[in-house]
Structure 1
Amino acid sequence: MKNYSIHSVFTLVAAAALLTFTSCEEQQEFGVRKIYMPQAAIYNGGLTHEYPVPMPNLPVDNYRIREDGMLDIILGVYRSGEGDLSAYQVEVFIDEEATARAAAATNRGVELPRTLCTLPERVSVPDGDRQETFNLRVDLPRLIAEYPEYNKNRMIVVVGIRNPSKWELNESLSRTTVIIEGGTFLPVVPILKNGDFGTGSSESWHLVNINNKPFELMKIDEEKGELQIGVDNYSQYGGDSRFMCYQQLDSPDLEIGKTYVLSAMVSIPAQDFYMTADKKNLKREMDFGFALFPKTTNMATQNDYKPGDTKFWYMDVTMDNGKGHYPLLDGTAGFESFSSIHLNKRPDSMGAGEFTMDADHMGGYVVFYVRLRNTCPDVKTIRVTDVKIVAK
């Protein structure tokens, strides 16, 4: 929170609301002793009682995030009128019916889950004061964990006051429609899950030993946050073998016709593939592809990603003769972007990882595909992390 106390926040809010209130009523109305919620009038003069969080153009935050991660939204009560500032109390409650109506009427609106918010049962204003603050407390850690998709929504709850112990309630300003902007408080949900290969990522990525070789070329190291690709002494197995690590493209944020960028960071140590000194006699012993497969693919048996069907989009690194750069032979300088080391691609835009989503790939797969040929001696461990798809 900016360098203001909660009391300063409320005073500013109450003052702004009071100016709005008095501009809508006759000036002598201020002399009438009425209790109301200033937040119900501050945003648009009380026409809708909306109270956005954060509040646009307010010089201070109308919320704070506590050390334990809880979100406190600052609300309050205020008594207009002159004279006699004796103590009073009001009850605080959530208006369930009004909340449902407001959520239905708000663009991107959803009801704030009731189990994640708390309010005091009542607010007491001491002798000599006309106002007091209270907090709508939201369990932000649970909200992030249980409703991550709400980062694109506005979460709504209508808070009201009633049954004042003294004075009269201003019914027209006794309820505040709190509208929490999800994008401010909840992280963006990535299109790809667990692209960092960290804790829990094995639930999102699937490994396939297509030819059922008696070893596993690929593994996920969640502690290091890497997909690791490697095998010692492949020559003992011989023949061609193919392996995949894939994830289905099932994010609701993907849209047909929209352009995205697919990216990953990869670290390749120098490999012991066969090549003459003049680099003219090279055995093509390994292909390493980063690809998008259409939704019709049989992911248990897919034999290749290059030939035939042009719906298989990819960038890859191979040991093809005639290429001027050999990342699989020379290695990389630590982690580099896959697009910066690729040798082949389809379509051309995939050279930069760019693709436009279509109906064939909606529900398809993002894939790391490796093919080893008979003469491959071994594969020193290749590491992959930070896999992303982002809208361009």
Structure 2
Amino acid sequence: MRKIVIFFSVLLLACGAASCQKADSERPWGSAVIYMPQASYTPYTVPNGGTAQQSNKNYSVDKDAGKVRIFLGIYRAGLEELQAYMVYVSAGTVPLDGTTLLPDGAYTLPSSVSCPDGKRDATFFLTVDIAYLKANADKDFSLPVTISDPTRYALNEKLTTTQVRIDTSELLSKEGL
């Protein structure tokens, strides 16, 4: 009987040692997915209510260049190792209700955005011509901006398109343009 108890005790200890795993706190968690944080705001209105003294404005103005730079970005969620990735950027063709689609000649947008090793996020800009906005101050504009085809990781499909809406008259008056 004693040999049976010793045998099962050794067997249980061996099984217990073989089944040891990392603690949950040491394991990576969450899905490594890429998304646009601004896509969670529908629409992503410019200006967003920040004042010249506040740092939470979602745009900047370069009066010398005659451009408004609207802040957009990409973000990689999850706790996996932070490796470099790239996504493509494109503009859509369907404006938001009550707005006019921002025409090609009135803005610039990068064709891709890269995030380097060791970083989660990268910023890019929708750059809009101030002269065009001034000439069309009576219209509000919109432009869907979409990310696609990541070189690494997956996309959070619910947050790949930011519906940028420009309240033209408010933007011009707030900046004294």
Deviation at 1:184, TM superposition (A): 2.5
Deviations 1:31-86 (A, max 9, x none): 11110000011x3xxxxx31000113685211011131211101000011112100
Please tell me the residue identity of whatever aligns with 1:87.
A
Would you say the 8 A contact 2:50–2:57 is kept in 1? Answer: no
Would you say the 8 A contact 1:52–1:181 is kept in 2? Answer: yes
Please tell me the residue identity of whatever aligns with 1:111.
L
- Residues 142-153 of structure 1 mapped to structure 2, 5 A cutoff: 142-144=132-134, 148=135, 150-153=136-139
- Residues 121-140 of structure 1 mapped to structure 2, 5 A cutoff: 121-140=111-130
Look up the SS of the partner of 2:152 in the other structure: coil
Instruction: Please give the alpha-carbon distance, in whole angstroms, between the structure 2 residues aligned to 1:57 and 1:182.
Output: 15
Instruction: Please give the alpha-carbon distance, in whole angstroms, between the structure 2 residues aligned to 1:72 and 1:119.
Output: 10
- Residues 98-117 of structure 1 mapped to structure 2, 5 A cutoff: 99-100=94-95, 102=96, 105-106=97-98, 109-117=99-107
Deviation at 1:114, TM superposition (A): 1.8
Please tell me the residue identity of whatever aligns with 2:166.
I
Would you say the 8 A contact 1:69–1:141 is kept in 2? Answer: yes
- Identity percentage over the alignment? 38
44, 49, 55: which one aligns with 1:51: 44
Please tell me the residue identity of whatever aligns with 2:106.
L
72, 96, 112: which one aligns with 1:75: 72
Quick check: which has more Rg, 1 or 2? 1
Task: Tell me if 1:168 matches 2:154.
Answer: yes
Please tell me the residue identity of whatever aligns with 1:173.
L
75, 81, 84: which one aligns with 1:84: 81
44, 60, 64: which one aligns with 1:64: 60
The alpha-carbon distance between structure 1 residues 57 and 70, as it changes in their structure 2 partners (threshold 3 A), is: closer
Please tell me the residue identity of whatever aligns with 2:128.
V
Would you say the 8 A contact 2:115–2:122 is kept in 1? Answer: yes
Instruction: Please give the alpha-carbon distance, in whole angstroms, between the structure 2 residues aligned to 1:126 and 1:179.
Output: 29
Aligned to 1:37: 36
TM-score, reference length from structure 1 = 0.34
Please tell me the residue identity of whatever aligns with 2:102.
L
Instruction: Please give the alpha-carbon distance, in whole angstroms, between the structure 1 residues aligned to 2:85 and 2:101.
Output: 31
Look up the SS of the partner of 2:170 in the other structure: helix
Please tell me the residue identity of whatever aligns with 2:170.
T
Would you say the 8 A contact 2:45–2:166 is kept in 1? Answer: yes
Aligned to 1:381: none
Look up the SS of the partner of 1:184 in the other structure: helix
Instruction: Please give the alpha-carbon distance, in whole angstroms, between the structure 2 residues aligned to 1:170 and 1:56.
Output: 27
Q: How many residues align?
A: 141
- Residues 12-31 of structure 1 mapped to structure 2, 5 A cutoff: 31=30
Instruction: Please give the alpha-carbon distance, in whole angstroms, between the structure 2 residues aligned to 1:37 and 1:142.
Output: 27
Deviations 1:260-283 (A, max 9, x none): xxxxxxxxxxxxxxxxxxxxxxxx
Query: Where does the alignment leave 5 or more consecutive residues of structure 2 unmatched?
Result: 1-28
Task: Tell me if 1:118 matches 2:117.
Answer: no
Deviation at 1:127, TM superposition (A): 0.3
Would you say the 8 A contact 2:47–2:171 is kept in 1? Answer: no
Q: CA RMSD in A?
A: 1.8
Higher relative contact order (CA 8 A, sep 6+): 2
- Residues 202-351 of structure 1 mapped to structure 2, 5 A cutoff: none
Query: Where does the alignment leave 5 or more consecutive residues of structure 1 unmatched?
Result: 1-29, 44-48, 188-392
Please tell me the residue identity of whatever aligns with 1:126.
P
Instruction: Please give the alpha-carbon distance, in whole angstroms, between the structure 2 residues aligned to 1:73 and 1:57.
Output: 13
Aligned to 1:244: none
Instruction: Please give the alpha-carbon distance, in whole angstroms, between the structure 2 residues aligned to 1:121 and 1:57.
Output: 28
Deviations 1:173-204 (A, max 9, x none): 000000011112446xxxxxxxxxxxxxxxxx
